Amino acid sequence: MNARPLSMLDPSAFPDSFAREHLPPTELWPVFHAPPGGAYPKRMNAAAELIDRAVAAGHGARPALGTASETWTYAALLDRANRIAAVLRDDLGLVPGNRVLLRAANSPMLAACWLAVLKAGGIAVATMPLLRARELDFVVDKAQVRLALCDAGLREELDAIDAPLRIACFNTDAADGLEARAAKKSGAFDNVIASHDDVALIAFTSGTTGNAKGTIHFHRDVLAICDAWQPVLRTTPDDVFAGSAPFAFTFGLGALLLFPLRHGASSVLLEQAKPELLLEAMARKRVTTLFTVPTLYRTMTPLVPAHDLTALRTCISSGEHLPAAVWEMWREATGLRIQNSIGSTEMLHAFVAMPPEEAAAGPCGRPLPGHAARVVDEAMRDVAPGSVGRLAVRGPTGCRYLGDEARQRAYVRDGWNLTGDAFIADAEGRLWYHARTDDMIVSSGYNISGAEVEEVLLDHPAVRECAVVGVPDAARGQIVKAFVVLAEGACAGAAMTQALQERVRTTIAPYKYPRAIEYRTALPRTASGKIQRNLLRDGA
């Protein structure tokens, strides 16, 4: 499987209305609230609102994005984004509505590419660097992607997919590389002024059925999540953001690109956000605002005394349940209270968070401005305070699945988004996380589909059947555990475990591999033959 030569492709031959045509029927959409600051203009480009407006206001010389070795000003970011937008339009044939896959680790160049796609009227489809050809192929097919901007060092997996992709690589000095092409452009670009409800991005998230879900978000949504967070973050232009999530996770996209740009602040981008590297960057760049997952808060805590974090004032946690012990450890080490939050790719970002003055160990928070939340039973009736129920939310953003009406009907009921989380509301109106209501495995902030791991394991000739679940783990929240029934003649043991783990690591993203494998002679099943994963989880 290889990508076709550039000359064989014409992106304009693909309908630019694809994303809109594959929105769910409007009667299946959730109810949308007005954004906290009021309605946006009917015609606008979200990227232009984030960077063009800042430069026009005289902030061009201010820092926008930085790494360990360089800093890009707002003017430099705008110049690069404009040049890349011109390459997309003039050299790669992008027409408004074309989907553009982005493949790279977090960096100023990736940020410029993301902004450029929107400026040119395209739809950004960001992917994690860890994804392999099999997963990329699904994304490309589902979103009908025909253009890709890719870090040259990550091209191999894209070349292995069976789809006609026109690929431009960056971080290369090749004559046809993105840098060389961009250098030939003027730096001026006439933005495509989209409708506020034109599609800006398609974000993919794993699902419990094994197939990724594409979630569609508009230009207005990009600004809405920024404005919903502002009363909690209270960002000023002097703030410096840092975090661990890649742009392909909308948690990282908002925290490390959209929020700081919306309010004239800056962000530190790391290709690898390991605990020591993140702490070093926070100290060196005087980071004020940190977004990361509980796992990293826990692993960073013992390293805090070796780093100067005196500039840090805001610590946001999301991606998985925040244990009270981690909250207390971080408070003791830094003197700062973590503000818990929860969001979903379907909502684009968080919808519940702790205000800074209320941050405490235990509760997840309150609905963000512009949002509402309820804890309901199966009939969508509110449960009593202190009772466990399903979390239902709505706000300025909401679920719109790409070409997936069945999932849309399951996620949205009576105008409310059902996030798949079980919560408790206390008498003060604070929301407390209880558990996932589906089979999603959340490990170190990654959402992992057990069904997807099962599919890979079942491809191994030694596996007759298997079931994959998440089991509690002190370090990661959960780990992936596989229960395996071997084929006749296959032998359980360390060698088999290593072989199965390696099969998963090399077939799909490595973080999805089962860290524990238990061999069974049979799996528990219902009378209808369905595997009883709840019994496996409970037993583990």
Name the residue among 132, 158, 200, 249 with its Cα closest to residue 513.
132
175: how many CB neighbours lie within 10 A of its CB?
7
Q: What pLDDT, on a 0 to 100 scale, did the predictor assign at position 11?
A: 43
What gap in Å lies between CA 242 and CA 406, rounded to an integer? 37
What gap in Å lies between CA 353 and CA 167, rounded to an integer? 39
pLDDT, tens digit (0-9, with 9 covering 90-100), for 73-125: 999 999 999 999 999 999 999 999 999 999 999 999 999 999 999 999 999 99
Residue 280 has pLDDT above 60, yes or no: yes
Beta 147-151 vs 99-103: how paired, if at all?
parallel
Residue 172 and residue 11 in contact, taking contact as beta carbons nearer than 8 Å: no
Residue 316 has pLDDT above 60, yes or no: yes
Residue 496 and residue 486 in contact, taking contact as beta carbons nearer than 8 Å: yes
Which domains, from first to last, does the chain contain?
A: 6-425 (3.40.50.12780), 441-539 (3.30.300.30)
Cα 30 to the chain's mean position, in Å? 21
Q: Taking residues 518-529, what's their average pLDDT?
A: 82
Instruction: For residue 189, give the DSSP letter.
Output: -
What gap in Å lies between CA 366 and CA 275, rounded to an integer? 29
What gap in Å lies between CA 128 and CA 247, rounded to an integer? 8
Name the residue among 121, 259, 126, 93 with its Cα closest to residue 198.
121
Name the residue among 324, 317, 535 with its Cα closest to residue 442.
317
Name the residue among 216, 261, 193, 227 with its Cα closest to residue 42.
193
pLDDT, tens digit (0-9, with 9 covering 90-100), for 22-54: 999 999 999 999 999 889 999 999 999 999 999
HSE, CB side, 13 Å, CA atoms: give it for residue 274: 3
Residue 527 has pLDDT above 70, yes or no: no
pLDDT, tens digit (0-9, with 9 covering 90-100), for 180-207: 999 999 999 999 998 899 999 999 985 4
Tell me the pLDDT band of 539, cut-offs 50, 70 and 90: confident
Q: What pLDDT, on a 0 to 100 scale, did the predictor assign at position 99?
A: 97
Residue 303 and residue 283 in contact, taking contact as beta carbons nearer than 8 Å: no
pTM, rounded to two decimals: 0.88
Q: Is 17 helix (H, G, I), strand (E, B) or coil?
A: coil
Residue 71 has pLDDT above 60, yes or no: yes
pLDDT, tens digit (0-9, with 9 covering 90-100), for 466-475: 999 999 998 8
Q: Is 279 helix (H, G, I), strand (E, B) or coil?
A: helix
Residue 525 has pLDDT above 90, yes or no: no
Dihedral in degrees, nearest 10, Cα atoms 328, 331, 337, 338? -60
Q: Is 104 helix (H, G, I), strand (E, B) or coil?
A: coil
Beta 71-73 vs 63-66: how paired, if at all?
antiparallel
Residue 461's alpha-carbon distances to 132, 490, 498, 516, in angstroms, are 21, 9, 15, 19
Dihedral in degrees, nearest 10, Cα atoms 366, 371, 376, 378? -140
Q: Is 464 helix (H, G, I), strand (E, B) or coil?
A: strand
What gap in Å lies between CA 262 and CA 65, rounded to an integer? 13
Range in 147-161, 262-276, 439-453, 495-509 the model is least confident about: 439-453
| DSSP, residue by residue, 414-465 | TTEEEEEEEEEE-TTS-EEEEEESSSEEEETTEEEEHHHHHHHHHTSTTEEE
Name the residue among 389, 385, 388 with its Cα closest to residue 426.
385
What gap in Å lies between CA 200 and CA 194, rounded to an integer? 9
Dig out the tokens for 175 from the structure.
Answer: 């004559």
Residue 436 has pLDDT above 80, yes or no: no
Residue 195 and residue 221 in contact, taking contact as beta carbons nearer than 8 Å: no
Positive or negative torsion for Cα 466, 468, 469, 470: positive
- Give the residue carrying structure tokens 């979630």: 215
Dig out the tokens for 114 from the structure.
Answer: 């993301």
Residue 265 and residue 226 in contact, taking contact as beta carbons nearer than 8 Å: no
Residues 6+ apart with CB under 8 A from 531: 467, 523, 524, 525
Q: What pLDDT, on a 0 to 100 scale, did the predictor assign at position 37?
A: 84
185: how many CB neighbours lie within 10 A of its CB?
19
Residue 345 and residue 367 in contact, taking contact as beta carbons nearer than 8 Å: no
Residue 209 has pLDDT above 80, yes or no: no
Dig out the tokens for 349 from the structure.
Answer: 């970002």
Tell me the pLDDT band of 72, cut-offs 50, 70 and 90: very high
Instruction: For residue 48, give the DSSP letter.
Output: I
Residue 77 and residue 115 in contact, taking contact as beta carbons nearer than 8 Å: yes
Residues 6+ apart with CB under 8 A from 237: 59, 62, 263, 264, 265
- Give the residue carrying structure tokens 């967070």: 229
